[in-house]
Structure 1
Amino acid sequence: MDWYRIVLETIELRSFSNLWFWIALAVMWSSASHWVLGVPFDMVMRARRQGGQAELDLEDMVRINVNRLLYISEVSGVWVIGIGCMILSALLVSGFVYGAEISQALFLLGCPMALVGLLSVRIALRIRGFGLTGPDLWRKLGTHRFVIQLIGMMSIFITALWGMFHNMTFTALGG
Structure 2
Amino acid sequence: MDLADTIFEVIDMRSFSNLWFWIALAVVWSTASHWVLGVPWDLVTRAKRRGGSAAEDVEDLCRVYVRRILHVAEVSGLVMTVLACFVLTSLAVLGFGYSIEFAQAVFLLAFPMTLVGLLSLRSARIIRAEDPTGHELYRRLQIHRMSVQFIGMASIFVTTMWGMFKNFSLGVLGG
TM-score range, shorter chain: over 0.9
Which 5+ residue runs of structure 1 have no aligned equivalent?
none
Distance 1:74 1:5 in 2: 45
Distance 2:52 2:77 in 1: 35
TM-score (norm: length of structure 2): 0.95
Distance 1:8 1:146 in 2: 38
> 1:120 is aligned with what amino acid?
S
Query: For residues 2 and 119 of structure 1, do their structure 2 counterparts lie closer, same or farther at Cα, with a shift above 3 Å needed?
Result: closer
Partner of 2:89: 89
Q: What's the CA shift string for 1:116-168, capped at 9, x where partnerless?
A: 00000000000011111110000000111011011101100000000000011
- Secondary structure in 1 matching 2:15: coil
Counting aligned pairs with the same residue, the percent is 55
Distance 2:69 2:75 in 1: 10
Q: What's the CA shift string for 1:30-75, capped at 9, x where partnerless?
A: 0000001111011110110111211111100000000001000000
> 1:129 is aligned with what amino acid?
A
TM-score (norm: length of structure 1): 0.95
Query: For residues 3 and 61 of structure 1, do their structure 2 counterparts lie closer, same or farther at Cα, with a shift above 3 Å needed?
Result: closer
Partner of 1:70: 70
Partner of 2:35: 35
Which 5+ residue runs of structure 2 have no aligned equivalent?
none
For the Cα contact (< 8 Å) 2:13–2:101, is it kept in 1? no
Distance 1:66 1:14 in 2: 38
- Secondary structure in 1 matching 2:17: coil
- Secondary structure in 2 matching 1:16: helix
Q: CA deviation at 1:172?
A: 1.4
